[in-house]
Amino acid sequence: MSGASDRWNPIFLKELRQSLRGRVFGILFPTTVLAGVAVAITAMVDLHPRPIAGPDVLLPVLVVLGVAALGLVPFSAFQSMGGEWDDGTHDLLVLSHLSPGRIVLGKLLSAAVESVLYFAGFAPVLLFTFLLSGVDLRDLLFLIGALYAASIAMSAVALALAGLTRSRFWRVVLLAATAGLAFLALVLGYDLAETFVKRGRGLGTGHASEDVAATIGLILAFGTLFTAIASTRLAHPEDDRSGPVRWTVSGLLVALLAAVTTVGAGFMSSVPVFEVAALVGALAAAFAVFFVTEPERLPRRAAARVPRNAALAVLAAPFLPGGGRGVLWWLLQLAILAAWATAVAAWHGAGRARPWTPGTFGQWCAFQSYFLVYLAGFSLALGRVRERSYGPLAARLILPSVAVLSMVLPLLAGFLSGETNPIRDSILFPTGAMQREPHAPKSLVALVVGGVVLALNLPRLITSFAQVLAASARRRRPLPAPLERPTDAAHAG
């Protein structure tokens, strides 16, 4: 493995060598392929009196391949990342000249190769099901391609989750979470395959565009997001561990809006502007939980990369680590959403169910105020906790729990007291978005509460900008860092 491989990713070479030599793959691979063949034969035997149809054999075979591609391959990726902790090689890797991105890429590449081997092992069976006829070649190729891409995306998820913690206990929990996600992906994939090859809504029929877009979108989104998360987890704590994820999420949200706009304009009579703006805002809030709970300080390595130009530094601020800058990031996403909604409303019409008008814009703001209270309000209240080493994690658990409890508890209370519409009448402060008819007074309450929280956050937001500007200024005129020299006295203490 020298010579030609000289400049290959070392992690890739190592992982490949280990997994091919490892006993696990040597047992799992033949077992899985045999299971695929067995399932195909069983399906044909079951069908026996009736004529054998391709789809009836293809679907069970795809399930077995899906278990390998979405379960076994990510599992081995998870183990390889977890193994670096357990073998004590994690620190050695981090200390080498490999960048976190190259480490993650190497592991992803080896997952990709491992996955290819499974697909190659299944190729004869898949070809056979195709020859049975009844399956459109385009459908088959798309499903296989999507499953392969999903296998790599799922491996990225596994790498990111395995990289989160050194603790074996938590890693077992995270492995269970990975398995849950893989199962979900398998169910979704099965449904897609069934829709394509059995329900007659495949690629040839002209009904499949939305499914195709959603599939590709989901795979790409999960893949890129978790690749970004996996590599930031390997970065030095004084490095920017948040920015790459913020950029990725922003990019994905914009891509989502673009997709909705084109698909909506093409297939629906008009884009549901308000609903999309509300939902994407909520989605952004879910990600923002991670950003607003970071410590406020600008890490030293991140500070050393702030743009020298003050204006650029201000523009980049929402994408730099820090809780206050997390709030800025979220507000920026809302601004992008509002701009998008306004532009689409002007271009394609304001939507049917709830048109995008100045009045509903107020309702939308009221709806987002709800998130503002949790994101900006509670993260501010938890400020002292967040500066502790366990703080961000604690805040990340507390924030969503409070948000969910504050919805569930009134709901429960409303249910027990016999309310007819508990969600609408008992929620902390109901907003227009949850009601069929505009409900001006309550929306107003939400807006006022949101305004107060924002005002309370003002010092924090100003500090967030000030830190960035100070870092930028320091970069413009580099001073020798004042350092405390070690004392030359032989005795200390």
Partner 1 sequence: MAALEVCGITKRFGSLVAVDQASFAVEAGRITGFIGPNGAGKTTTMRIAATLDLPDEGDVLLDGVSVLDDPRGARRKLGFMPDAYGAYPSTTLWEYLDFYARAYDLHGALRRRRVEEVLEFTSLSALREKEMAVLSKGLKQRLCLAKTLLHDPSVLILDEPAAGLDPRARVELRELVRALAGMRKAILVSSHILTELAEMCDGIAVIEAGRIKATGSVHDVTRGIQTAVPVFVRVLEDADRLERALLELPGVERARREGQGLVFEHQGSPESLAGVLAALVAAGLRPVEFTPRAMGLEEVFLSLTEGKLQ
Interaction of residue 93 with partner 1, rule CB under 8 A: yes
C-beta separation of 190 from 137 below 8 A: no
Q: How far is the CB of 490 from partner 1 (least distance, A)?
A: 4
Interaction of residue 48 with partner 1, rule CB under 8 A: no
Q: Which is nearer to partner 1, 14 or 201 (CB)?
A: 14
Q: How far is the CB of 111 from partner 1 (least distance, A)?
A: 17
First to last CA, the chain: 55
For 38: left if phi > 0, alpha if psi spans -120 to 50, otherwise beta; the answer is alpha
Interaction of residue 349 with partner 1, rule CB under 8 A: no
Q: Which is nearer to partner 1, 94 or 336 (CB)?
A: 94
Q: How far is the CB of 244 from partner 1 (least distance, A)?
A: 16
Nearest to 19 by CA among 81, 85, 67, 65: 81
Q: Which is nearer to partner 1, 86 or 191 (CB)?
A: 86
Q: Choose the stretch contacting partner 1; rule: CB under 8 A; options: 14-22, 211-219, 327-335, 405-413.
A: 14-22
Q: Which is nearer to partner 1, 114 or 139 (CB)?
A: 114
Nearest to 102 by CA among 19, 29, 14: 14
Interaction of residue 418 with partner 1, rule CB under 8 A: no
Interaction of residue 6 with partner 1, rule CB under 8 A: yes
How would DSSP label each residue in 262-313?
A: HHHHHHSSS--HHHHHHHHHHHHHHHHHHHHTS-SS--HHHHTTS-SSHHHH
Site for partner 1 in 351-410 (CB under 8 A): 388-389
Q: How far is the CB of 3 from partner 1 (least distance, A)?
A: 9
Site string for partner 1, 257-296 (x = CB under 8 A): ----------------------------------------
Site string for partner 1, 170-189 (x = CB under 8 A): --------------------
Site for partner 1 in 304-333 (CB under 8 A): 304
Q: Choose the stretch contacting partner 1; rule: CB under 8 A; options: 81-89, 109-117, 323-331, 449-457.
A: 81-89
What residues contact 237, with CB distance under 8 A and at least 6 apart? 299
C-alpha separations of 480 from 8, 126, 475, 477, 489 in Å: 39, 66, 11, 10, 25
Q: How far is the CB of 17 from partner 1 (least distance, A)?
A: 7
Residues in the chain: 493
Interaction of residue 477 with partner 1, rule CB under 8 A: no
How would DSSP label each residue in 132-195?
A: TS-S-HHHHHHHHHHHHHHHHHHHHHHHHHHTS-S-HHHHHHHHHHHHHHHHHHHHHHHHHHHH
**Rounded Cα distance, 294 and 292, in Å:** 6
What residues contact 30, with CB distance under 8 A and at least 6 apart? none
**273 residue type, one letter:** V
Q: Which residue is it, tokens 């977890």?
A: 82
Q: Choose the stretch contacting partner 1; rule: CB under 8 A; options: 53-61, 263-271, 297-305, 462-470.
A: 297-305
Interaction of residue 484 with partner 1, rule CB under 8 A: yes
Site for partner 1 in 221-250 (CB under 8 A): 236-239
Interaction of residue 478 with partner 1, rule CB under 8 A: no
Single residue of 26, 71, 94, 175 touching partner 1 by CB under 8 A:
94
Binding site for partner 1 (CB under 8 A): 2, 6-7, 10-11, 13-14, 17-18, 21-22, 84, 87-98, 236-239, 300-301, 304, 388-389, 481, 483-487, 490-493
